[in-house]
Chains A and B, each alone.
Chain A
Amino acid sequence: MGFLEYLAQNYDALLVQSFEHIQLVVVSVVAAIIVGVPLGIVAHRSELLRSAILNTTSTFLTVPSLAFFALLIPLVGIGNTAPILALFCYALLPIVRNTVSGLRQVDPAIVESAKGMGIGSFGRLRGIELPLAWPVILTGVRVSTLLNIGIAAIAVLVGGGGLGQEIFRGIRSLGSPFAPNLVFGGTLFIIGIALVFDLFYLLLGRLTTTRGIR
């Protein structure tokens, strides 16, 4: 059948998978922000911990995704949990690294004048350093999101959900006439999700960055 026909017929299934897919990504990225930004702040402040933190998170990213998912199965079983944990680990490096760079590029004179005005350490972080580092941090979040959108397709191979299922159905029927539809359907929807998120980050960046630092 034609591709459009296929889409029309399987729209709801694809949407359900899309939703699962998005869930995998959003949960892992949000968790990575919650853990990663503070980690980045610590890494920025402490010369000693910086290389340890950056190296560890960088090592996560070196481990192949399927292997990472599989290694977690004995711990959390099959299904979505293992992928989410692994995706969380993958999302850490871009976020941590960009938090560090973002903080590093804040002009020290600005921080000093804030200190001289009597703004305490936490106040400086909250009111000055993080807002000024935010555009770079947001880029890190964006990179993590895109990365995870791509990797999440593999979740199906360990019993997880998401659009990888559609692609996998295509793989299983490789050689038959339906295969291309399934494969393209899954892949294009994934790319579509990525586009939507990219746009979202673009808008978010615009909205949350004051004119002063654009």
Chain B
Amino acid sequence: MTDVENSDVMIELEDLTKMYPGQPVPAVDHVNMRIPRGEIVVLVGPSGCGKTTTMKMVNRLIEPTSGRIVLDGEDVTKVNANQLRRRIGYVIQQIGLFPHQTIKQNIATVPKVLGWDKDRIDHRVDELLRTVGMDPEEFRDRYPKELSGGQRQRVGVARAMSVDPDVMLMDEPFGAIDPITRERLQNEFLRVQAEIRKTIIFVTHDIDEAIKMGDRIAILQEQSHIAQFAPPEEILTAPANDFVADFIGSGASLKRLNLTRIRDIQLHADAPVVDVNDDITTARQRLRDSDWTALLVVDAERRPQRWLRPTDLKRPSADLHQGGLPVDATVEPQATLADALNEMIISNAGCVVVTDGRGAYQGVADIDTIMASIRAMRAQVDEYYRAAKLLDIEGEVAV
């Protein structure tokens, strides 16, 4: 398992336990976890495993029965709870925006409490709204009831970041939102996180969300016993026990495909391509020279139009503007392999054309491309494990 070095630890949970009176077993039993600085750690597990309870002990909304919480080297188990919480961003599923206050007033809540001056607050509010992709002019004086669910959640995130806390706790923040908006919010959140690199504890019951969002995932069993604490690739390719394997579900292989993006793999760049305005002879020649069975026709902007086979080209009335198989499966470089596979399955060509943001041809991916990348992933993890085992046994890196 990838170890976390001391200087890199932002949050450390030491033997953290929560015992409710009258219950035979603790809700959270001696959790030990080191959360690296700048990473999103996802706590995921079945209902009732205590993941939310564990998270809430970090900002002491639930007081631990025993154990320690160390935040950036400081033991915060016993400090003033309200002051602690003002240093930590907190986002919940139902969002909890104050309906009687404007968006601006909502976001300004903690800064006001901390005594920031008016200009600083105004500036910060606008900045935060822009960060979460909302126009300050339009939204700062609106009321929560005038916003959609997705917009409200963005404001919720902005509000949690108001005093730029280093740590954020997020409890199923995208749970109450429709799947389409949820995906968009997840992507945007990852984009923002790439820039600001906060340390985040993220709770979800959805393993797919965990894989997508997490730099590191903690799979929790009952009483928050940690079944596995590792980056997503490792969890998917090397589940620590049956519980983890079951939790990932039978779609593990497919889930793996969510981890790699088209731009990261080797595409076929040698497909024969011809412009739609070229002449037929050039087209025939190009196809013959390659070892492909079809030719790709692109328009003046390099946008793929159709696949033409030798039979389509042989006919005297052959025309590059028509016939053949129209290209209906395209993906952009940031799409995942899973998206690509999806397109491939529903298309008629058995392969997918990769285009850039403007639709221009980049390369081609087919099932072989995907299988090759999975094999490469497997090899990587084996290498990982070999290195880790060597470390364990000999205590130093083997050459």
Binding site for B on A (CB under 8 A): 107, 109-120, 123, 128, 131-132, 209-213
* Nearest CB on A from B334, distance (A): 33
* Nearest CB on B from A95, distance (A): 21
A212 and B61 within 8 A (CB): no
- Among candidates B81, B83, B90, residue contacting A113 with C-beta atoms closer than 8 Å: B90
* Nearest CB on A from B397, distance (A): 43
Report B143-176 CB contacts with A as 1/0, cut-off 8 Å: 1110000000000100110000000010000000
Q: Which of B98-106, B297-305, B324-332 contacts A (4 or more CB under 8 A)?
A: B98-106
B94 and A132 within 8 A (CB): no
Contact flag A114-B100 (CB < 8 Å), given A119-B82, A119-B113: no
- Among candidates A109, A115, A132, A209, residue contacting B85 with C-beta atoms closer than 8 Å: A115
Bound CA–CA A114/B100 (angstroms): 13
With A109-B94, A114-B109, A212-B102 known, 18 other A-B pairs at CB within 8 A are A107-B94, A109-B93, A109-B96, A112-B61, A112-B96, A113-B92, A113-B95, A114-B96, A117-B90, A118-B84, A118-B88, A119-B82, A119-B113, A132-B100, A209-B100, A210-B100, A212-B99, A213-B99
* Nearest CB on A from B369, distance (A): 46
Q: Is B97 an interface residue (CB 8 A)?
A: yes
Across-interface contacts of B156 in A (CB, < 8 A): 113
Q: How many A-B residue pairs have CB under 8 A?
A: 74
Across-interface contacts of B96 in A (CB, < 8 A): 107, 109-114
Bound CA–CA A117/B114 (angstroms): 12
* Nearest CB on B from A208, distance (A): 10
* Nearest CB on A from B66, distance (A): 22
Across-interface contacts of B94 in A (CB, < 8 A): 107, 109
- Among candidates B82, B86, B101, B110, residue contacting A210 with C-beta atoms closer than 8 Å: B101
- Among candidates B61, B93, B95, B143, residue contacting A211 with C-beta atoms closer than 8 Å: B143
- Among candidates B83, B100, B110, residue contacting A212 with C-beta atoms closer than 8 Å: B100
Across-interface contacts of B88 in A (CB, < 8 A): 118
- B169's nearest neighbour on chain A, judged by CB, is A116
Across-interface contacts of B86 in A (CB, < 8 A): 117-118
- Among candidates A113, A119, A120, A210, residue contacting B143 with C-beta atoms closer than 8 Å: A210
Bound CA–CA A24/B88 (angstroms): 52
B109 and A119 within 8 A (CB): yes
Bound CA–CA A119/B162 (angstroms): 14
Q: Is B17 an interface residue (CB 8 A)?
A: no
* Nearest CB on B from A103, distance (A): 14
Bound CA–CA A112/B91 (angstroms): 10
Nearest 10 interchain pairs by C-beta: A113-B96, A118-B85, A116-B90, A212-B143, A118-B86, A109-B94, A109-B96, A118-B82, A110-B96, A213-B100
- B144's nearest neighbour on chain A, judged by CB, is A212
Bound CA–CA A123/B98 (angstroms): 13
Q: Is B59 an interface residue (CB 8 A)?
A: yes
